[in-house]
Each structure stands twice: as structure tokens, then as C-alpha cells.
Amino acid sequence: MRTIKFGQTDWQVPAVAVGCMRINRLNSSEAQKFIKTALDSGANFFDHADIYGRGACEEIFAAAASELGVARAKLILQSKCGIVPGQRFDFSKEHILASVDGSLRRLRTDYLDVLLLHRPDALVEPEEVAAAFDQLTASGKVRHFGVSNQNPGQMRLLQKFVKQPLQANQLQLSITNATMISAGTHVNMLVDAAVDRDGGILDFCRLHDITVQPWSPFQHGFFKGVFLDNAEFPALNQKLNELAEKYNVTNTTITLAWLLRHPADLQPVTGTMNPARLRDCIKAADIRLTRPEWYEIYLAAGHTLP
């Protein structure tokens, strides 16, 4: 597996992160097969969140990894906190500390390699976040920190108080959901594509060496479904299939290769629980699309150039 530099660290991590949001759909043997497939392919960066399966996903992952006899040192474990489902977002010190303790217990580990704050809390008091991060650092419970779904202003506000560098930002990004890319090609234009909806978060992260982790890389809209083999996207699928045939891979592989071709060194997070499809995702790290091919996919998805 090709690796990338993680944030401002000297740490090399797999170019593709393995998402575990749906691992609670698997039985014990299936979960073991899923984890083994990832590890055998060099994909040992696993993404979790305290709310996935209301905690069950972390428990199932830990049980399966234990049955496989996987050493903790062989795993890179990332989890997220800050969402109380259906009620609120919560970046209070009390909630962050309690959430981490819960994840550590469910994952059967003494530490998280990475903790991300999940969704921006409108009532965030950055001093409390800083206090929580300091305590987690001092106790050794968390090694690196980051955020998810945050814009540059929100990150700057946190970083004013938080001593630890924010190493990652997990954001929705796919071929069809690419406003953070398309806005940059329509600067100063009187068209909808020119609207800056995220404060230039992609360039901000590149400027500050923050790893962008695209989530839902196969989804269109907000969980409306995948665009692969979807009749709503005929031109896009025709182009993806054409390139899949050229490179002797699947359209799944080409889709992730499109993200990995971006010079920001993106680290997409997979969502599949299918071992074969997971292998297809991981293969994308070995393919480098040409510049013309990248733009052909971009235009086939309905994006425009001014």
C-alpha cells in the first residue's frame, strides 16, 4: 500500500483509510475476514466513531481483531466524538473525555492514534477543547488530534487555544460532491459553481499540512446513494468504465484513483464491508491517472470549466 505523510507529523500512513461505520452488519467471522483482507493489503488505518452502531462497531471490530490475534502495534486506530445522535453536538471537556474513555473500552486499547471532533458544535468553547486535549495527551490516551466537517475559521478558532496541531479534517468529497474543488476553478465568476461554500478548506488544509480525509467517496448528494452504475450518471459511468477497462481494474478502483490523483495527498475513507470491493478500493493507491483522464472524469460528472 502506498503511504502518505499524515498531517504535520513524520508519520507515514496508508493512502486509503478503512471505514468501519457499517461493521455491525457483519457477523464475527465476516468481521474477521474484513479486517484480515484490509491488513493483508497493507491497509491498517481504521476509522471509527463513538456513534457508529451506537458503539457496537468499535466493539465488533475489537472482538474480531482479538480473535485474529492482531497486535495493537499493527493497527492505526482513529475514532471520532462530539455527536449526541438526534440531540446535539457536544465539544465540552466532559463529553470529549467520556467519549474517549468509551471508545478505548470498546476498542480494547489504551490509546487512540487519532481523535477527530466529529461535527462542529455551535456552542464550542475552545478553552474546554484545549483542556480536554491536554488531559488526553498527558494521559497518553490520544496521540494525534483533528476535526471533521470544519471550515478554516472553525479550525483557526480551535487552534488559537489548542496546543496540539490539528492533523486531519474529514470532509465529504467525491467525484459528484466536489464543490471544494470546483469553486477553485470558477473564482470571480457569476455562476453557482463559483460559490465558496467552505471557506476554501482544501487550500487551507494544504497550506497548513492538514490531511484531508474524504468520506462517502462513492456517494452523491447527502447519502442519496452511490453514483457507480447509477442510471442518473450515464456519462460519468461510461468514462469510469472506459478507464477501468484501460487499467484492468473495476470502476470502484478508478473512482478512488480520481481522488488519490489530487496533489493534496487525500486519504479517502472507504465504506464498504465487502472484502472484494475493499481490495478494489485499496488497488487505487497503485494507479496514477493522467491529468487529461482526471479532467475527463471531472467533466463527465457534470462539472464545468469557465
Instruction: Give me the CATH number covering residue 171.
Output: 3.20.20.100
Q: How many domains does the chain have?
A: 1
Kindly indicate the confidence band of residue 223, based on its pLDDT and cuts at 50, 70 and 90.
Answer: confident
**What is the model's pLDDT at position 51?**
98
Looking up cell 499540512, which residue turns up? 209
In a domain, 263, yes or no: yes
- Answer whether 58's CB lies under 8 Å from 94's CB: no
* Enzyme catalytic residues: 52
* 166 membership: H or E segment, kind and range: strand 166-172
Lowest mean pLDDT: which of 13-27, 72-86, 146-160, 187-201?
A: 187-201
CA 135/CA 96 separation, integer angstroms: 10
In a domain, 98, yes or no: yes
In a domain, 264, yes or no: yes
C-alpha cell at 31: 468481521
In a domain, 301, yes or no: no
In a domain, 57, yes or no: yes
Kindly indicate the confidence band of residue 221, based on its pLDDT and cuts at 50, 70 and 90.
Answer: confident
In a domain, 157, yes or no: yes
Average pLDDT over residues 148-158: 98
In a domain, 99, yes or no: yes
CA 52/CA 305 separation, integer angstroms: 38
Instruction: Say yes or no to pLDDT of 305 above 90.
Output: yes
- Answer whether 45's CB lies under 8 Å from 78's CB: yes
- Taking alpha carbons only, the member of 263, 229, 257 closest to residue 243 is 257
**What is the model's pLDDT at position 224?**
86
Residue type, 213: Q
190 lies in which domain range?
3-225+252-286
In a domain, 96, yes or no: yes
Do the bridges between strand 45-47 and strand 18-19 make them parallel or antiparallel, or are there none, so unpaired?
parallel
Checking phi first, is residue 97 left (phi over 0); if not, alpha (psi -120 to 50) or beta? alpha
